[in-house]
Amino acid sequence: MLLRLHSVPGLFAALFLIVLTLSGAILSLSPALERAVATVPPSGVTSVAEVAERVLSIYPATEQIERLPSGAVLVYFSQDGNPAADLVDPLTGTRISAYEPSPILAWIKDLHRSFLLEDAGRAGAGVLAVLMALLCVSGAFLLASRAGGWRHFFGTIRGNGRQRLHTSLARFAVLGLLLSALTGVWMSAIRFELVTEAEEVEAEFPEQVSGGTPAPVGSLSALQAVDLRDLHQLVFPFPEDPNDVYSLRTHQGSGYVDQETGELLTWADYGTPASLQTFIFELHTGEAFWWVGLILGAAALTAPVLSVTGMMIWWQRRRAMPKLADNTAAQSADTVILVGSETNTTWGFAKTLHEGLTAAGLRVHTAPMNGLEKRYRKAERLFILAATYGDGDAPASAKKFLSKLAKVPDSSQLPWAVLGFGDRQFPNFCAFANVVTQALQQRGWPQLLDTELVDRQSAQAFERWATAVGNAIGAPLTLRHTPLRRRTTTLVLSEREDFGVEVAAPTSILRFRATQPAGVIGRCWRLLGGPGLPYFEAGDLVGILAPGSDIPRFYSLASAAKDGVLEICVRRQEHGICSSFLCGLQPGQTMAAFIQQNPLFRPARGREPVILIGAGTGIAPLAGFIRHNKDQHPMYLYWGGRNPQSDYLYERDLRAYLRDKRLTSLQAAFSRSAERVYVQDKLRSDAEQVRALIGKGGQILVCGGRGMAACVALAMDEILAPLNLSVAGLKTAGRYLEDTY
């Protein structure tokens, strides 16, 4: 619902919002430009009386002095019987330049306020301001939810290039855009009398004045008491009329000054409501706060990019939504599939299941989890495919599921099976699927299969589950799921190092670069910023599509894009299609790949120690973390291989990192050496040091096979027991992270 609340107004209003924000950005420059050429004395330096005296000495026919919200001082006067206006220096009274309002800016202001359509356009601009406020609020909540809570709002950004750009700009601009929108809504509401306009309280014209000979303006006590920075307007009395008075307007109120005695004859404060109303207006325009205007203008400039990237993300999500053929009506189906998805990727799996069950002769109804009905007249079974969103929350299409489930009568119970989708790098992996499972169990609904969890959209895990489903319902299923093909980048192998042949574990470190045209064209390509490596950090994942395969295999990255290479560590697996392809590549040959961010597998910032634990090719991201530890934060590496002469991966690099202090300590364990130890044995040997590091707030990162990770977790529980800590507790605190396969 929140996603729809954010998307629909944006799509509807995108073009008009672009006009509104771009024109607003241009107008925001005007106060800053006025300020740039103005002389603005500090507070308390000069009074209105002094400025008036200086101006009169140069402009004897002065009629009015005005201080613009930007701080510039403007004098209106008569010249050869014609009205004129100049910007002046208040410290000398001398002319800076003629003051002529720009017709172009006036046109842009009309475009901004009303789209050149007078009242109808003003009403439209007001509606757009409401929509912008809605977009800002819903977008902020979406950002917080996807980041895992408000405390992570400014954390690492996940997603592809356009998603990162959209999110980065939104985080920068959301407060500025929201402030512009809310102040714009208020001004529109006043314009169309939806709220009562606060009227300024005006001073009454004095009934009696001295009527004597006018004194020099610089000697008038009432004007001497007003600082220039408080002035809004000073209107001079009509020449040769001793009964006329000075009309004074400041930021606080208005009054009249006797031109002979300098006495303040009458005075009235504007009142708090009127002052607040003026403040809102000046905040929106930036006139009184030129620097705020620039900030709001910069925020407004992001709106066109946000509109374009937002539409691209919406279209990508729309494309990912499959079209279901033969979707039986809910009350006619014997099988119901309910889907909980945020970005629609889970719908692809649902489509594959739907088609497989339909081909097996079943009548299948597939719908969002929010579409759960109180009764399905002919249904015999229920399958739920549930993704987890943000910090363990229900995705958009499943927000109402639990409340609807509570209203389903016991007589309508169905045998069910839940398949959860998520990413093990997130602390609440498949949490929503587990919540759904518990809710169904508590209601006593019969369970067809144990709940299964799919990590990182694994097609193999889904296909195994589908086979189990077929066996459970007596309708054999052999499904092949082909996910929507990701857009890939072609990379060329530039360098490789080979290890492990002697111990029957052939492993290679592969370094890839972006493909670029050769020769002069290539040099021009680079100078013009031609596409290079996609953005990634060490610890992110690269998805690789072997020729003839639609299913990507993921490898942890040992490098960052700023290194100029994409580096992975691959062990050749027997019958492994992708690993065989990669290990067979020679320099100059290419592969197709895409990046999947993995932001929750990162060393924490700060001076707390980091314990890195891995085995085999799991050293890749750990080596990357050490490589980028230029600030020499304390890092301790425990790594396990087979034989130091055959497969000591990154040995030269690790020795160099020890020398330059990027790596504090190195403990390597080899299972096929004379020592015959594993990485968990090294941890137990260093138990006292490990406890000391954890006691200092240390963090643990584990990368490698799941079997190794399980053994390490057992050893760490033993080590942590004297501290009354556990692996589970450290995971909850975000201090124990795993990247396993």
- pLDDT tens for each residue of 651-685: 999 999 999 999 999 999 998 887 889 999 999 99
Q: For residue 640, give Cα distances in angstroms to 125, 680, 682.
A: 64, 9, 9
**Does residue 616 sit in helix, strand or coil?**
helix
Note whether 616 and 704 are within 8 A (CB).
Answer: yes
Tokens of 718: 């033993």
What stretches of 572-678 adopt beta strand conformation (E)? 590-596, 610-615, 635-641, 665-670
CB atoms within 10 A of CB 180: 30
Whether 510 and 549 map to the same domain: the answer is: yes
Tokens of 51: 């400025």
Q: Of 137-146, 336-345, 407-416, where does mean pLDDT reach its minimum?
A: 137-146
Instruction: Map tokens 């020890």 to a residue.
Output: 658
Instruction: Map tokens 């020795």 to a residue.
Output: 655
The angle at the Cα of 724, spanning 719 to 729, to the nearest 5 degrees, equals 90
Handedness of CA 687, 688, 694, 698 (dihedral sign): negative
- Among 543, 562, 596, the domain boundary falls at 596
C-alpha of 143 from chain center: 5
Whether 28 and 143 map to the same domain: the answer is: yes
Separation between Cα atoms, residue 201 and residue 269, nearest integer Å: 6
Has residue 266 got a pLDDT over 90? yes
pLDDT at 161: 59
- Burial annotation 463-499 (CB, 10 A radius, 16+ → b, else e): bebbeebbeebeeebebebebeeeebbebebbebeeb
**Does residue 670 sit in helix, strand or coil?**
strand
User: Minimal CA–CA distance to 626: which of 601, 661, 598?
Assistant: 661
Handedness of CA 593, 599, 604, 605 (dihedral sign): positive
User: Minimal CA–CA distance to 159: which of 343, 339, 322?
Assistant: 343
pLDDT at 483: 67
Whether 518 and 539 map to the same domain: the answer is: yes
CB atoms within 10 A of CB 524: 11
Is there a domain that residue 683 lies in? yes
Q: What is the mean pLDDT of residues 401-420?
A: 92
Q: Of 310-319, 386-395, 551-560, where does mean pLDDT reach its minimum?
A: 310-319
Separation between Cα atoms, residue 566 and residue 557, nearest integer Å: 7
Whether 326 and 373 map to the same domain: the answer is: yes
Whether 81 and 178 map to the same domain: the answer is: no
Whether 138 and 169 map to the same domain: the answer is: yes
Separation between Cα atoms, residue 424 and residue 491, nearest integer Å: 27
Q: Between the ranges 37-41, 248-252, 272-276, 619-623, where is the mean pLDDT highest?
A: 619-623
pLDDT at 519: 47
Separation between Cα atoms, residue 247 and residue 11, nearest integer Å: 51
Q: What is the mean pLDDT of residues 566-592?
A: 92
Give the list of residues 6+ apart from residue 135 with CB closer than 8 angstroms, or none.
Answer: 6, 9, 10, 177
pLDDT at 528: 38
Q: Of 279-283, 320-324, 351-355, 628-632, where does mean pLDDT reach its minimum?
A: 320-324
Q: For residue 285, give Cα distances in angstroms to 32, 67, 93, 105.
A: 11, 16, 28, 13
CB atoms within 10 A of CB 153: 14
Give the domain CATH number at 551. Answer: 2.40.30.10
Note whether 226 and 248 are within 8 A (CB).
Answer: yes
Give the strand pairing for 416-422 and 381-387: parallel
Instruction: Map tokens 């470190």 to a residue.
Output: 509
Has residue 4 got a pLDDT over 80? no
Whether 180 and 311 map to the same domain: the answer is: yes
The pLDDT-based confidence of 124 (bands split at 50, 70, 90) is: confident
Query: Counting runs of H as helices and runs of E as strands, what totals does the chain give?
Result: 21, 24
Three state DSSP letters for 327-362 = CCCHHHCCEEEEEECCCCHHHHHHHHHHHHHHHCCC
Q: Of 132-136, 292-296, 429-433, 515-519, where does mean pLDDT reach its minimum?
A: 515-519
Rounded to two decimals, what is the model's pTM? 0.53
pLDDT at 287: 62
Handedness of CA 141, 144, 146, 149 (dihedral sign): negative
Separation between Cα atoms, residue 422 and residue 430, nearest integer Å: 5
Return the percentage of the chain with pLDDT > 90, whole number: 46
Whether 512 and 407 map to the same domain: the answer is: no
Tokens of 662: 């990027």
Separation between Cα atoms, residue 562 and residue 560, nearest integer Å: 5
Q: What is the mean pLDDT of residues 383-390?
A: 88
Q: Of 181-185, 244-248, 596-600, where does mean pLDDT reach its minimum?
A: 596-600
Separation between Cα atoms, residue 435 and residue 428, nearest integer Å: 11
Q: What is the mean pLDDT of residues 354-368?
A: 92
- Among 445, 473, 501, the domain boundary falls at 473
Handedness of CA 713, 715, 717, 720 (dihedral sign): negative
pLDDT at 522: 47
pLDDT at 485: 66
Average pLDDT for the chain = 85
Separation between Cα atoms, residue 243 and residue 256, nearest integer Å: 12
The pLDDT-based confidence of 160 (bands split at 50, 70, 90) is: low
The pLDDT-based confidence of 218 (bands split at 50, 70, 90) is: very high
Return the percentage of the chain with pLDDT > 70, whole number: 90
Q: What is the mean pLDDT of residues 500-505?
A: 79
Whether 179 and 311 map to the same domain: the answer is: yes
Angle formed by the axes of helices 2-27 and 29-37, nearest 10°:
30
Give the domain CATH number at 728. Answer: 3.40.50.80
Handedness of CA 319, 321, 322, 327 (dihedral sign): negative
Is there a domain that residue 511 lies in? yes
| Number of compact structural domains in the chain | 5
Q: Of 46-60, 177-191, 355-369, 623-637, where does mean pLDDT reach its minimum?
A: 177-191
One-letter amino acid of 423? D
Whether 83 and 224 map to the same domain: the answer is: yes
User: Minimal CA–CA distance to 307: which of 131, 557, 510, 553?
Assistant: 131
The angle at the Cα of 396, spanning 392 to 400, to the nearest 5 degrees, equals 90
Is there a domain that residue 447 lies in? yes
Whether 69 and 131 map to the same domain: the answer is: no
Q: What is the mean pLDDT of residues 61-66?
A: 93
Q: What is the mean pLDDT of residues 437-447?
A: 94
Note whether 476 and 553 are within 8 A (CB).
Answer: no
Has residue 400 got a pLDDT over 50? yes
Has residue 526 got a pLDDT over 60? no
pLDDT at 314: 67
pLDDT at 527: 40
Has residue 547 got a pLDDT over 90? no
Query: Given phi > 0 = left and psi -120 to 50 = alpha, else beta, which region is 204?
Result: beta
Separation between Cα atoms, residue 567 and residue 565, nearest integer Å: 6
Separation between Cα atoms, residue 378 and residue 92, nearest integer Å: 92
Q: Of 34-43, 58-67, 327-336, where does mean pLDDT reach its minimum?
A: 34-43
Whether 299 and 367 map to the same domain: the answer is: no
pLDDT at 315: 67
Has residue 5 got a pLDDT over 60? no
Is there a domain that residue 512 lies in? yes
Give the domain CATH number at 357. Answer: 3.40.50.360
Is there a domain that residue 287 lies in? no
Is there a domain that residue 627 lies in? yes
Has residue 370 got a pLDDT over 70? yes
| Higher pLDDT, residue 240 or 74 | 74
Instruction: Map tokens 């609020």 to a residue.
Output: 137
Is there a domain that residue 100 lies in? no
For the segment 311-358, what is each residue's pLDDT rounded down to a tens digit?
Answer: 776 666 666 556 787 899 999 999 999 999 876 778 889 999 999 999
Give the list of residues 6+ apart from residue 158 with CB closer than 8 angstroms, or none.
Answer: 146, 164, 597, 599
Give the strand pairing for 541-545 and 507-514: unpaired
C-alpha of 238 from chain center: 60
Has residue 38 got a pLDDT over 90? no
- Among 596, 629, 653, the domain boundary falls at 596
Is there a domain that residue 95 lies in? no
- Long-range residue pairs from 724-733, CB within 8 A, at least 24 positions apart, any chain: 725/694, 730/694, 730/700, 731/427, 732/427
Range of the domain at 726: 610-740
